[in-house]
Chains A and B, each alone.
Chain A
Amino acid sequence: QQPVQSPQAVILREGEDAVINCSSSKALYSVHWYRQKHGEAPVFLMILLKGGEQKGHDKISASFNEKKQQSSLYLTASQLSYSGTYFCGTESSGGSNYKLTFGKGTLLTVNP
């Protein structure tokens, strides 16, 4: 089952902040965040693991609430280069742990 992302789309002016949310109905082992520019492949931003470990981009911050199965991606002082579609992907705890399931994405547009 796909995680649910919100908002579906957001428009910012350069320098503004944004938060993108991701929630799942399943207990999670990890949450991944990727950014995709139009016509390109998704690019890794960050992984948040159960237990608190994080791996990824120095300039990107995110949180992972294990009890609520929710994650948020924080984009501060946005730049034009932040524009793109952001996907969260989730890996569930227990059972088959090998499936990374993505949400439908959040389209972020940063204008000058």
Chain B
Amino acid sequence: NAGVTQTPKFQVLKTGQSMTLQCAQDMNHEYMSWYRQDPGMGLRLIHYSVGAGITDQGEVPNGYNVSRSTTEDFPLRLLSAAPSQTSVYFCASSYRTIGDEQFFGPGTRLTVL
């Protein structure tokens, strides 16, 4: 099993550009989520999904869109990048929707100029 994979590992964008961060898992997990990590702020939940076709907002959803058309994939879209979105982004998954170990991907380091 590859576990949770994320691409790209690094990305530099200009303000206003759009891009999609990819996340995939091969463990047949129901629950997937996106976090951003900023210095001193811990991990903050952006969006999450409890199964294919079902998504919901986390703590900091503004400026981000998600969709989940398959169990395996959960892409995160930045529609118009802003410098405030400079961060490290982690995707995570777990077998069940609650009370289960989260498996994290290796992260994507995004810089918006």
Contact = CB atoms under 8 A, between A and B. Distances in A.
A6 interface: no
A43 interface: yes
A69 to B, nearest CB: 16
A34 interface: yes
Interface string A51-71: 000011000000000000000
Contacts, number: 63
Interface of A is mostly: strand
Contacts of A101: 45, 59
Interface residues of A, number: 27
B90 A42 contact: yes
A79 B100 CA distance: 27
Contacts of A100: 33, 45, 102
B48 A102 contact: no
| Residues of B in contact with A, size category | 20 to 34
A87 B101 contact: no
Nearest to B107: A41
B81 interface: no
Contacts of A104: 40-42
28 contacts: A29-B99, A32-B101, A40-B106, A41-B90, A42-B43, A42-B90, A42-B102, A43-B104, A44-B101, A44-B103, A47-B101, A87-B42, A87-B43, A91-B98, A96-B56, A97-B97, A98-B48, A98-B50, A98-B98, A99-B58, A100-B33, A102-B35, A102-B42, A102-B44, A102-B45, A103-B42, A104-B40, A104-B42
B102 A2 contact: no
A34 B104 CA distance: 10
A32 B97 contact: no
Contacts of B41: 104
A110 interface: no
B31 interface: yes
Contacts of A30: 98-99
